[in-house]
Amino acid sequence: MRAGVKELLGWAGVVLVGVVAFWATRPAPRPSTSDGPPGVVVKTAPGTAKGSFGVKMMPDQGGLLLVEVHPDGSAGQAGLVAGDVILTVDGRPSTASRVLLDRLEALAAGDALVLRVRRADGREEVLRVELTAGHGFELDLARRLVAHGVAQLVGLEREGGLWPHYQDPARPSVAVTALVAHALARAGDLDEAGAAALGRARAALLAAQAEDGGVDDPAERPAHRTYASALALLALDDAGARARLAAWLQAAQVQERHGYDPIDARYGGWSYHDRFESGGLRTDVSTARYALQALAEAGLADDAAVWDRARLWLDLTQNYALVSRRGDPAHDRERDLRDGGFAFTPRLSKAGSDDVGGTMAVWRSYGSATADGVLARLALEGVDQRRGAPDALVVGPEALAGLRWLAQRWDLGQNPGFEQDALGWARGVYLYYLAGLAETLHRAGVWRVGARVWAAELVRHLGTLHARAGDRFRGESALMHEDSPTLAAAFSVLALAAARDRLALGGGAPLERGGTPPRPPLEPDALAPPADAVARGLAVFRRAGCVGCHVDQGGGNGPALTGLAERALLRWRTAEAAGAGLTNLLRSPDPARALTRGEWSVRMQPVTPEQVGEADLSDLVQFLLSRRTGLPVSDAR
């Protein structure tokens, strides 16, 4: 049967059908059985309620050829077998799979299909098929697809227990090997070849552990040490190596020891390039997610400073808190854009940005970044429901906002959030998105997204992609190297393992597709600088020459002052921390550490002690903290 399917793949796609009917209270009318000619046998399948149809099918001359029929699905219980051809669905010709899919999606409890079927011997029958309960078809399919993915990864191994680089298959990559080892470890129930491959991968990662504790590949540029070390920590079973990796990840977080304080938008994240000089430092939500996920798995203490630093970084990256004040013209616009999702960094999104007004811009949320961000939040909160089936979600408001973003924009066909997508990100970061989405929902304990059993739907979808690609996992885009069979198989295995494990549990919490949870606006009035200090600070502002570049409403060489209080409070959350952060910025300015969008057109000079003493500097900071969104134009200039 497999050889026959491959022969037909040249002209037609294979579709997996396991659609779940929706619950309904009304009884459905019994479908007519007049579809068949006189003398044709009419059979009624046992079972009611919702479940999976459970077939693998493809277009055939005159109908839909059943390539595979799961015995526990509705089709199998009705007597359908591989080799049957569905000719009509409720009287409609079924030459396209969409006819059957559309009908299944419209079913309610008690509904049934009337199928006209041609058997292998040429006989025709009419079958009445009701959906059966359960997801045995998808669970079995997930297990088989995971095994396919493991076999694909085993076949791609190079000498020394290493896997090929995503750009150049001729050379090995420690970072890719760490991803493969993580996927093999998550696959579980490995056969002899898979277990041996995982053992060799782990040995290679141990050999690549440097003296500082992190996994290193000196030949790989740019370095992927955060990814490699976090994934190795998730994959290794050596306690000593895991402890050294956890220590390295804690030390590698961008923090004071690297010369950064909380005013910097990169503070609390992890360096992508393993570089900490300002010009080469980049942090993003992907590296943060893997680092935090690995540290949570390693059992990092709840009071570790890593969590507080990371929370600051995530607060800036998630579109959740409102910065503008009520009554400000920008407030309603900002509220629409603070949708609960995540951007890539506090100052960058692959989906672009929207200007809100003044110096404020909101970087747009998108699917893979939001899945990463929620996983990072769950690690912060210590939430892990991968072995449980909770009746309700127990997560913080920020994580819930991210989960609802994913639910509202549910789309397994592409990475959502890229309405303007000239570069092709929606399909270029696709299998990575599916893996992150599945891991997020499974870890949060989600069973249904709206009316959808997400794990069953994801398994069917990946099964269809796998079949269409000739029983291989293959990404279609080279944008982020998902055309690499190694990356494609690894991400697919991770997605399927999460879906498989959720289906095996058989339940969990519902995730409603409602609006974003209430977002507490910041309270800039909590800063409340004394009026006399503000007046003195304004005098210092003028005397120090700051008026040459900065004005309240923009138009100077530097960022506008209006809204600085909200931006500072969003960054630090407390008046004391905001004052300290601004003080450090004034003494040692850096455009990359500014609170506003974009770069300064003129490099700010430091405010030296000779120019402004400590008392005057304190007053200057109080003046800056009085600059709020919505204030009338002042005479700061």
The reported pLDDT for the residue numbered 58 is 82
Residue, of 135 and 79, whose pLDDT is higher:
79
Lowest mean pLDDT among 31-35, 155-159, 393-397, 461-465: 31-35
Share of the chain above pLDDT 70, in %: 81
How many whole angstroms separate alpha carbon 594 and alpha carbon 589? 8
User: Is residue 484 scored above 60 in pLDDT?
Assistant: yes
Q: Is the pLDDT of residue 97 over 80?
A: no
Based on the number of CB atoms within 10 Å of its own CB, is 265 exposed (0-12), middle (13-18) or buried (19 or more)? buried
Is there a domain that residue 519 lies in?
A: no
How sure is the predictor about 5, in pLDDT bands with cuts at 50, 70 and 90? very low
630 vs 86: which has the higher pLDDT: 86
Q: What is the mean pLDDT of residues 554-558?
A: 59
Beta bridge partners of 57: 15, 66
| pLDDT value, residue 3 | 33
Q: What is the CATH number of the domain that holds 69?
A: 2.30.42.10
pLDDT digits (tens, 9 = 90+) for 385-435: 999 999 999 999 999 999 999 999 999 999 999 988 878 999 999 999 999
Q: Give yes or no: residues 165 and 180 share one domain.
A: yes
Q: Percent of the chain scored above 90 by pLDDT?
A: 49
Q: What is the pLDDT of residue 571?
A: 72
In 3D space, the residue among 343, 477, 323, 468 whose CA is nearest the CA of residue 11 turns out to be: 468
For residue 246, which amino acid is it? A
Residue 634 lies in a domain: no
- Nearest-angstrom CA–CA distance, 105 and 83: 24
Q: For the segment 427-478, what is each residue's pLDDT rounded down to a tens digit?
A: 999 999 999 999 999 999 999 999 889 999 999 899 989 988 989 999 999 9
Residue 392 lies in domain: 137-511
Predicted local distance difference test score (pLDDT) of residue 580: 84
Structural domain count of the chain: 3
Q: Is residue 441 part of a domain?
A: yes
User: Does 141 lie in the same domain as 123?
Assistant: no
Helix H or strand E encompassing 115: strand 112-118
Which is more confidently placed, 223 or 239?
Answer: 239
Question: Which structure tokens are listed for 249?
Answer: 């990840």
Based on the fold, state whether residues 366 and 451 are members of the same structural domain: yes
| Final residue before a domain boundary, out of 104, 134, 164 | 134
Q: What is the pLDDT of residue 12?
A: 32
Instruction: Decide which of 134, 150, 173 is a domain's last residue.
Output: 134
- Tell if the pTM clears 0.85, that is, is over it: no
pLDDT attached to residue 527: 60
- The backbone region for 635, taken as left when phi is positive above 0, alpha when psi lies in -120 to 50, beta otherwise, is alpha
In a domain, residue 189? The reply is yes
Q: pLDDT tens digits, residue range 593-610?
A: 566 554 444 556 778 888
Whether residue 171 sits in one domain with residue 111: no
pLDDT for the residue numbered 359:
61
Collapse the DSSP code of 128 into the 3-class scheme (helix H, G, I; strand E, B; otherwise coil) and give the result: strand
Do both 438 and 553 map to the same domain? no
Give the mean pLDDT of the chain.
83
Average pLDDT for residues 74-103, to the nearest whole number? 83
Burial (CB < 10 A; 0-12, 13-18, 19+), residue 573, is middle
Taking 90 as the threshold, does the pLDDT of residue 575 lie above it?
no
Please count the residues of the chain. Answer: 637
75 and 31 part of one domain: yes
Is the pLDDT confidence value at 117 over 80? yes
State whether 168 and 286 are in the same domain: yes
Residue 502's domain is classified under what CATH number?
Answer: 1.50.10.20
Q: What average pLDDT does this structure show over 195-221? A: 95
Domain end point (choices 94, 112, 134): 134
221 and 166 share a domain? yes
Assigned domain for 545 exists: yes
For residue 561, report the phi and psi dihedrals to the nearest 5 degrees. Answer: -85, -30
What value does the mean pLDDT take over residues 289-311?
A: 96
> Tell me, what's the pLDDT at 589?
74
Instruction: Give 9-12's long-range contacts (Cβ < 8 A, gap of 24+).
Output: 9/467, 9/468, 9/470, 12/58, 12/59
Q: What was the pLDDT predicted at 634? A: 53
Give the residue with greater pLDDT, 595 vs 270. Answer: 270
Do both 24 and 54 map to the same domain? Answer: yes
Alpha-carbon dihedral 564, 568, 571, 575, rounded to 10 degrees: -160
**Whether residues 190 and 121 fall in one domain:** no
Instruction: Evaluate if residue 623 carries a pLDDT over 80.
Output: yes
- Residue 286 pLDDT > 60, yes or no? yes
* Residue 618 belongs to some domain of the structure: yes
C-alpha span between 375 and 604 (Å, rounded): 38
- Read off the CATH number of the domain in which 571 is found: 1.10.760
- Per the domain annotation, does 88 fall within a domain? yes
Same domain, 92 and 186: no
Beta strands in 1-107 (DSSP E): 15-17, 42-44, 55-60, 63-69, 85-89, 92-93
Strand partners, 582: none
Please indicate, yes or no, if residue 338 is contained in any of the structural domains: yes
273 and 401 co-located in one domain: yes
